[in-house]
Amino acid sequence: MFKSLRAEAFLIFGAVAFAFNGVISKLVLTDGLSAWRLTQIRCTGAFVILLVYVLFQNRHSLTTSRQELPWLVAYGIVGFAAVQVGYFIAIARMPISIALIIEFTAPIWIVIYIRFIRKQSVASTMWVSLLLGFCGLLLVGQVWRGLTLNGIGVIAAFVDAFALAAYFLLGEKLVAQRSTSTLIVWGLGVASLVWAIFMPVWKFPFHILTNNINLLGTFKNYALPGWVLILWIVLMGTILPYLLLLAGLRQLSASTSSVIGMLEPVAAGVFAWWWLGEVLTATQLTGGAVVIAGIILADRVRRQAH
């Protein structure tokens, strides 16, 4: 009983840490650092620290084979680089909670993939989950009033959702061969290498580290150096929640973990309202609740299909 409660606490704190990281990331993005560069420094910083940790724990666990390597590369590019840059672009252009609601439609896309690409049978409730998900998104976007959300932000959020779906699908394939911790190191490592190739480190805007970044909203009279906020993003917004997530998953089922994970968009909305003054309409809040119901139902369908 105690182990179960402790695991639930790990997952709750992990979801809250991920949610709070959205606010801190938005502060840095608002100051002028691009979503691409923020993704690069987040991936690279977390990779270096976690690599050192895994090397001390079990360095041999990082070895791989020729057959597995292409999948690990795809996992890193899609599951870490694409997921994070899509998220950062989305939250830079629209409310954090809405970006997360769209991102968390990933289970819905996974169910569609299982049914129409893998040609596996799924429960009839799939159609209910899809209906709930898309109706909720219509309410969130308030489509009857025209496009009320930033177009690029919406596209980025959906790219983020598709990439997250691929992350889960690839992860299910790869986790049979290696531990989750080494998967994270490989994913972050590949993503860091991609960013280093396309965006050389020596061209990184290092001035952001010494900039005094305004904390906006509730704390608009205060500022912190950029390196403090970026260090928070790497340590408290990436490494800590990942480790908490792993600790929780060791004790709880995937179904329980996925439901607890739904706290992230809810907590993100609370943090964004309290700190940044982001306010959603009653219709958007209702739409968000409908989407979350569809996501939970879709995740149940996905587990039944497996």
In this model, does residue 180 exceed pLDDT 80? no
Percentage above 70 pLDDT, the chain: 90
* CA 286 – CA 42 distance, rounded (Å): 33
Distance of CA 1 to the CA centre of its chain: 29
Nearest-10 Cα torsion for 245, 101, 35, 220: -90
Spell out the long-range contacts of 266-269 with Cβ–Cβ below 8 A and sequence spacing 24 or more. 266/19, 266/97, 266/292, 267/15, 267/16, 267/19, 267/20, 268/19, 268/20, 268/22, 268/23, 268/96, 268/97, 268/100, 269/95, 269/96, 269/97, 269/100
Q: How high is the pLDDT of residue 46?
A: 94
The DSSP letter of residue 82 is I
Classify the C-alpha dihedral 151-283-272-191 as positive or negative. Answer: negative
* CA 2 – CA 150 distance, rounded (Å): 45
Per-residue model confidence as pLDDT tens digits over 107-131: 788 878 888 888 887 777 877 877 8
Q: How high is the pLDDT of residue 257?
A: 59
SS (H, E, C) 176-234: CCCCHHHHHHHHHHHHHHHHHHHCCHHHCCCHHHHCEEECCHHHCCCEEEHHHHHHHHH
Gyration radius of the chain's alpha carbons: 19
Per-residue model confidence as pLDDT tens digits over 1-48: 666 778 788 888 988 999 999 999 999 999 999 999 999 999 999 999
In this model, does residue 210 exceed pLDDT 80? yes
* CA 152 – CA 216 distance, rounded (Å): 23
Distance set, CA 169 to CA 76, 106, 164 (Å): 13, 10, 9
pTM score of the predicted model = 0.86
The ranges assigned to domains in the chain are 2-305
Per-residue model confidence as pLDDT tens digits over 245-303: 767 766 765 445 555 766 788 888 889 989 999 888 888 889 888 888 887 777 676 66
Average pLDDT score over the chain: 86
Q: How high is the pLDDT of residue 26?
A: 95
Nearest CA-CA partner of 268 in 247, 241, 298, 246? 241
Q: How high is the pLDDT of residue 140?
A: 82
* CA 89 – CA 261 distance, rounded (Å): 22
Q: How high is the pLDDT of residue 27?
A: 96
71 φ/ψ angles, rounded to the nearest 5 degrees: -70, -35
* CA 101 – CA 161 distance, rounded (Å): 9
Q: How high is the pLDDT of residue 48?
A: 95
Q: How high is the pLDDT of residue 255?
A: 46
* CA 33 – CA 48 distance, rounded (Å): 21
Per-residue model confidence as pLDDT tens digits over 152-168: 999 999 999 999 888 87
In this model, does residue 306 exceed pLDDT 80? no
Distance set, CA 137 to CA 14, 59, 90, 103, 142 (Å): 26, 44, 15, 11, 8
Q: What residues contact 270, with CB distance under 8 A and at least 6 apart?
A: 19
Q: How high is the pLDDT of residue 215?
A: 96
